[in-house]
Structure 1
């Protein structure tokens, strides 16, 4: 069986380790892209498209999902299958923008790692995993690799992103929407909205998981993505 080219897009402050426990290698030729170099969603989407094959399957988590939706706007005919994990299609709220501006202030004051350790970790993962030192260490190490400059790019991108809800009805490729049942960053109702508004999309809620479902429930996510690739 020919393998499908599969592009995986991480979320903010995440690198290829977000996807390393997802096992789809039997069905796909996998490429994880860096999404920390541009400072707009459009710029990030274009940078991925420039390096992508003519046709490919696409999966993105959180920021990666937002970039995926932008790619569907820019080049819908190139995407064979789409998977949106823990994704928010809405424009940023004033409350979100204020919070991200505080994070930029913290970075400028030398408190970059405090953002992940004190502010993000408590809401990123399922409550049962908050004492999981291995998981926490992976998340912190990913943030270190992305670094302050990369994260400021990502913050600028999400702060200026457009309303992506009008894109949803235009998506015609097979689409799967996944979300952790305890996701506090992109709650289940956002994925329900995506599923309702993307023609033929199906929703999968992953139990015992927060926002980072590929790290928290990699076996369940792997099985779902393999089924999606084979469909």
Structure 2
């Protein structure tokens, strides 16, 4: 007699939003590790030229209500969803991201990266040269981890990078502060792209009392530290609805 696993219908939909030059590979360990507590969907954000287009794509494909987690650029998409359809969000997680517009310094960095990427030649994605700013120093010799990141970013390619790195990012503080749902903020302790200190300020600004700082972890927390990330998301999914 065969056995077919039947997913309980009461499990919430969990939408995992990738970051810049990321796809579902970013969330591989969350897709498998949280399958017993949620029905996971990772939308493809790569075709879209604005944060609003990404948010509208997610809302068009989502169930009426859902749990929402956004990583890095995906955090800005989550904030826009909170801005235009807050009633559909049952709970919100923000990972290694920001709620503010780019500083002039960060905007200049983006312009420089776009200029370099547009020159042609082989597109290296998040290659070894800049890997040290994306993951913790202790993981730079982890060939499996770095290989997954390089392969993912090279697969998505130059056009996606230029499009996503040019996105205009809006301030999300007011939209997030207005939510009355379970919130969690997760960040790698040694995140150089969106530092932990900024996440502490973010938590204070939006009234989030659940802040998880993961030791020995850089910006790519879902890939670098799947155990702690899954544990934090599992706890967040289990918290009572309707309470921050």
Give the TM-score taking structure 1 as reference length.
Answer: 0.94
Correspondence list, 1:59-74, <5 A: 59-74=69-84
1:93-129 superposed Cα distances (whole Å, 9 cap, x missing partner): 2222222122222222125634521553110100100
In structure 2, how many angstroms separate the alpha carbons of the residues matched to 1:41 and 1:93? 18
* More moved, 143-152 vs 50-59: 143-152
Structure 2: distance between partners of 1:59 and 1:222: 12
Paired position in structure 2 for 1:17: 25
Q: Do 1:103 and 1:115's aligned partners in 2 also have CA atoms closer than 8 Å? A: no
Which residue in the other structure is 1:191 paired with? 199
Match among 38, 50, 57 for residue 40 of structure 1:
50
**Structure-2 separation of matches of 1:18 and 1:6:** 15
- The CA distance in 1 between the partners of 2:128 and 2:223, in whole Å, is 19
**CA root-mean-square deviation:** 1.5
Does the 8 Å contact 2:67/2:91 carry over to 1? yes
Q: Identify the range of structure 1 (92-101 vs 52-61) with the bigger mean alpha-carbon deviation.
A: 92-101
- Asked whether the equivalents of residues 86 and 179 of structure 1 are also in contact (C-alpha less than 8 Å), the reply is yes
Q: In the TM superposition, what are the counterparts of 1:154-173 in structure 2 within 5 Å?
A: 154-157=164-167, 160-173=168-181
Cα distance in 2 for residues equivalent to 1:155 and 1:101: 8
1:125 is aligned to 135
Q: Does the Cα contact within 8 Å between 2:93 and 2:185 map onto a contact in 1?
A: yes
Equivalent residue number for residue 176 of structure 1: 184
Query: Counterparts of 2:199 and 2:154 in 1: how far apart (Å)?
Result: 29
The alignment of Structure 1 onto Structure 2 pairs a total of residues equal to 229
Partner Cα distance (1:120, 1:171) in 2: 36
Unaligned segments of structure 1, at least 5 residues: none
Q: Is the 8 A contact 2:185 2:208 kept in 1?
A: no
Given candidates 31, 35, 42, the residue that maps to 2:41 is 31
Q: Which moved more, 1:53-62 or 1:140-149?
A: 140-149
For the 8 Å contact 2:125–2:150, the answer to whether it is kept is no
User: In 2, Cα distance between the equivalents of 1:168 and 1:45?
Assistant: 15
CA contact (8 A) 2:124 2:150 kept: no
